[in-house]
Chains A and B, each alone.
Chain A
Amino acid sequence: MTDVADPKLEEANVGGGGSTETTAQRISYLRAGHSLKSWLLTTDHKRIGVLYTLSITFFFFIGAAAAALIRLDLLTPAGDLLTNEGYNRAFTIHGVVMVWFFLIPSIPNTFGNFLIPLMIGAKDLAFPKLNLLSWYIYMLAGLFTLFILIAGGVDTGWTFYTPLSTMYANGNVILAATAVFIVGFSSILTGLNFIVTVHTLRCPGMTWGRLPLFVWSIYATSLILVLATPVLSITLVLISLERLFGLGIFTPAIGGDPLLFQHLFWFYSHPAVYIMILPALGVVSELVAAGAHKPIFGYQFVVGSSIAIAALGFFVWGHHMFVSGQSLYASAAFSFLSIAVAIPSGVKVYNWTATLFKGHISLDPPFLFAMTFIGLFVFGGLTGLMLAMLAIDVHVHDTYFVIAHFHYIMVGGTISAFFGALHYWWPKIVGRMYSLAWGRVTAIFFFIGFNLTFFPQFLLGYLGMPRRYHVYPPEFQVLNVVSTGGAAVLGIAYLMPLIYLIYSMRYGKPAPNDPWDAIGLEWTTPSPPPKHNFETLPVVQRPPYDYEIELRDEHV
């Protein structure tokens, strides 16, 4: 990569997947300005994507540290590492940080920001300055949260149930609610930006039916971001005012209803989990197509499934309240709808499997992470269906069964996809190749460590170990020890990429435009791309994932 700018720039071409070397005639976005100011005041979506990646990695490790404390304490049945209050603060901060400061922005704000304009043939998002503002809002909220940590934490669980949070809890509830309120604006503005971008900035020929599945999934996610997050915002305002002024909306003594909080909270928080998984599902579509060198089977059904998940996801919140005193008929309705929302996810998995049929499969790290995703997400999703069954949920609600279920989805699923995306688009983002062998090792450690950590928790849950339990009966110890052991292996898997990926930034081979021979507009640009992505906008004429059926080196 040189710093020479060539005024005569080539047109980006479309559809070709050959590995051309970078011409080194353009200034990459990484080198367009070296000062701190050029980074902190950038409006380039790629730099903002990088800023987000750094921030969410930081917050991930804060949430992971809390998890480490929890798992260490759970090695023994007695609560001997932390006090009861300390433990309660640990799982609360784990949830708050992981949900709002890691999972929700994890794929949209990093890879979504970086890739959406590239994938649709645009020079940037629709509102670049708003994009930067979103990051600053996120950082402000994050700093708030760090302050809360130092100020003693909060002890209500990330779910803030009333009246515990409004009348009885001792921690910094209002501060925590404020931090989450602030980060909500970041979510809303991000979603707004993506929606308008996908509608208005597609290059000529990039019809809706030719959009990469990743773009579709981010679009569906953005709909949820914009429509669900404001409900959380108002709910947080209400519990803060209730705590400050004794509002009474959630206080039975003056005619309020604690369950009203649960309805409001879950009306946001259930769609929120789809914010966390839809982008991952989109990433996996990209990884499977590239790994198999084949178009995704049933593109239209896969698109439809993303929209269906986003839409149906708004109507299932009551499945968090089957035992909370909700009416039988409401529970029956929510159970039915929860089954319905699982179907589109199943459709995707079947379509990915069919994609591999007669494909040209290469076991590079991105593909391996797509496979770990499928393995773990399928299990997580099917246990979710189990939870949707009313009578089963009565027994396992609020136990480790639920914890195992959602970690299979959010860690087994979303983090697999995040790692897959990282290992797939890394060459594009930094312009270097990394050690594929180490990438594969990470995928294996991740899969093994994850299962060791969370599978025992299904058993613990069915045996009757409730969640948020600091002390537990001695007969549960063996399973807890296995789980903590697995967490150590998982921790290694989280740390390994930090080493070889950062190493590659200095010592890795310069990456070609298209290291994976994949098809997509992002692969037609140099690695890393120039600041304005395309000097002349591409014109799309072919369907998406237009891989040649026969490859040069193969016989039929």
Chain B
Amino acid sequence: MNFIPLWPSGASAYSHQIDLLVIAFTVLIVALSAPVFVLLLVFIVKYRRGKEADRRHAPNRNIPLELSWTIVPFLALLGFYVWSTDLFARLYHPPADAMQIDVVAKQWMWKFQHPQGQAEINELHVPSGQPVKLTMASQDVIHSLFIPALRIKQDVVPGRYTSSWFVADKPGTYRIACSQYCGSNHSEMTGSFIVMNPTDYAKWLSLSSNDVSLAAEGATLFRSRGCSGCHDPGASVRAPSLVGIYGNPVPLQSGEIVTADDQYIRDSILLPQSQVVAGYQPIMPTFQNVLSEEDVMKLVAYVKSLGQAGVTQ
């Protein structure tokens, strides 16, 4: 589709599928509406007041006709509904081997964090052919990450993590825009989405400043903010151990059992009173006004890494 001047470029196989759906739907639109326009014109000309024409037995109703023009378009649309919902559902099921990139949106900029620690502002470099999963948080209001070339967007909502995923195929530079009105400089909250072939991406990674991985940054925060004071083994205050909790069930005071995913870890740091682990006192202080969403993402990365072989102290 890239040769049509009035058509946006497509950077993924998914984008081409959306374009196909749109074109097919446009054909349906024409099929449903062209008869109306044609007939209107024909009737206006043929049955002009004062003009001779055969107007005998003008029908007032025709139930079979009315039923069919109600039901047939509905069935046609249902076909598109199934097609479209299937494409949409894929956005909710990222592959397990997707590379995770953390995104923080705030008035009025985008911050992207690569797993090895490279951070970018208003620019996102990704390797082509590699599934990428975006985990997104907002520091303030609702924003929305829109990458037209991929035909995807996802609102970034404060208080929770939202996510999206894609596989970009075509190296090039494309646009990123914020598409949820977020205040004064909403229309300037834009950036670049740069797809590179894997070799170039690896080169870029090594050239960008990346002293420490996200998890290691998280480890530093864990100590500097005092988390280790309660959560390390041997601490005087009794707090749940964090080793190996990621992805596993956690029994809560209320009797519920939840899975320790990204959202759970984030909420435990920022809203510690809301899901207290069974058998522990609700004494953890909140870091609501102390840690930014970025910092929390680093801590989440750190806790995740504790699931692997021996990474404490």
Contact = CB atoms under 8 A, between A and B. Distances in A.
Contacts of A297: 59-62
B84 A324 contact: no
A246 interface: no
Contact of A323 (B40, B65, B144): B144
Interface in B242-296: 270-271, 274, 288
A126 B297 CA distance: 62
Contact of B36 (A300, A374, A553): A374
B84 A325 contact: no
A347 B29 contact: no
Contacts of B144: 323, 398
A389 B70 contact: no
Q: What secondary structure prevails in chain B residues at the interface with A?
A: mixed
Given A297-B61, A325-B155, A357-B43, A469 B73 contact: no
Interface residues of A, number: 95
Contact of B43 (A259, A361, A397, A469): A361
A39 interface: no
B151 interface: yes
A138 to B, nearest CB: 28
Interface stretch (B118-126, B185-193, B219-227): B185-193
> Which of A255, A331, A469 counts the most B-chain CB atoms under 10 A from its CB?
A469
A84 B184 contact: yes
Contacts of B52: 554-555
B257 to A, nearest CB: 21
B158 A163 contact: yes
Interface residues of B, number: 84
Nearest to B37: A375
Interface string A237-253: 00000000000000111
A318 B87 CA distance: 18
Interface in A343-366: 343, 346-347, 349-351, 353-354, 356-363
Contacts of A550: 55
Interface in B156-192: 157-160, 162, 175, 177-188
A385 B77 contact: yes
Given A84-B185, A469-B186, A350 B49 contact: no
Contact of B151 (A169, A363, A394): A394
B22 A325 contact: no
Contacts of B187: 79, 84, 466, 468-472
B154 interface: yes
B6 interface: yes
B71 to A, nearest CB: 9
Contacts of B154: 323, 325
B212 to A, nearest CB: 29
Given A161-B181, A257-B159, A464-B175, A378 B153 contact: no
Given A360-B55, A468-B186, A386 B146 contact: no
Interface stretch (B88-96, B197-205, B298-306): B88-96
Contacts of A298: 60-62, 66
A357 B151 CA distance: 43
A189 B83 CA distance: 44
Interface string A78-102: 0100001100100000000000000
B8 A463 contact: yes
A471 B184 CA distance: 12
Contacts of B48: 360-363
A402 to B, nearest CB: 10
A398 B179 contact: yes
A85 B181 CA distance: 12
Contacts of A340: 74
A392 B25 contact: yes
A549 B183 contact: no
B274 to A, nearest CB: 7
A436 interface: no
B140 interface: yes
A109 to B, nearest CB: 30
A168 B107 contact: yes
A554 B50 contact: yes
A395 B148 contact: yes
B33 A361 contact: no
A124 B188 CA distance: 55
Contacts of A85: 184
A295 B141 CA distance: 54
A556 B57 CA distance: 11
Contacts of B55: 358-360, 549-550, 554, 556
B207 interface: no
Contacts of A301: 61, 66, 70
Interface in B217-236: none
A346 B72 CA distance: 11
Contact of A386 (B22, B40, B160): B22
B142 interface: yes
A164 interface: yes
Contacts of B65: 354
A259 B157 contact: yes
A466 B270 CA distance: 32
Contacts of B146: 398-399, 464, 466
Contact of B61 (A300, A374, A398, A549): A300
Contacts of A351: 66
Given A351-B66, A357-B58, A468-B187, A343 B74 contact: yes
Contacts of A553: 50
A339 B160 contact: no
A385 B59 CA distance: 30
Interface string A458-483: 01001110111111110000000000
Contacts of B8: 462-464
A260 to B, nearest CB: 11
B157 A324 contact: yes
Contacts of B89: 328, 332
A252 B274 CA distance: 12
B123 to A, nearest CB: 16
A335 B140 CA distance: 30
Nearest to A159: B181
B175 A390 contact: no
Nearest to A547: B58
Given A85-B184, A473-B175, A361 B49 contact: yes
Given A161-B142, A363-B44, A328 B92 contact: yes
A354 B59 contact: yes
Contacts of B74: 339-340, 343
Contact of B88 (A324, A361, A391): A391
Nearest to B84: A389
> Which of B22, B55, B140 counts the most A-chain CB atoms under 10 A from its CB?
B55
B157 A395 contact: no
A323 B32 CA distance: 28
A252 B160 contact: yes
6 contacts: A164-B141, A343-B73, A361-B44, A382-B32, A395-B152, A398-B144
Given A359-B58, A360-B55, A361-B47, 16 more contacts: A161-B181, A163-B158, A164-B142, A252-B159, A255-B274, A332-B88, A346-B32, A346-B70, A361-B49, A378-B37, A382-B32, A386-B25, A391-B87, A397-B153, A464-B149, A549-B58
Closest 4 A/B residue pairs (Cβ):
A252-B159, A464-B148, A390-B88, A391-B87
Interface of B: 6-8, 18, 21-22, 25, 29, 32-33, 36-37, 39-40, 43-44, 47-50, 52-62, 65-66, 69-70, 73-74, 77-78, 80-81, 83-85, 87-89, 91-92, 107, 140-142, 144, 146, 148-149, 151-155, 157-160, 162, 175, 177-188, 270-271, 274, 288
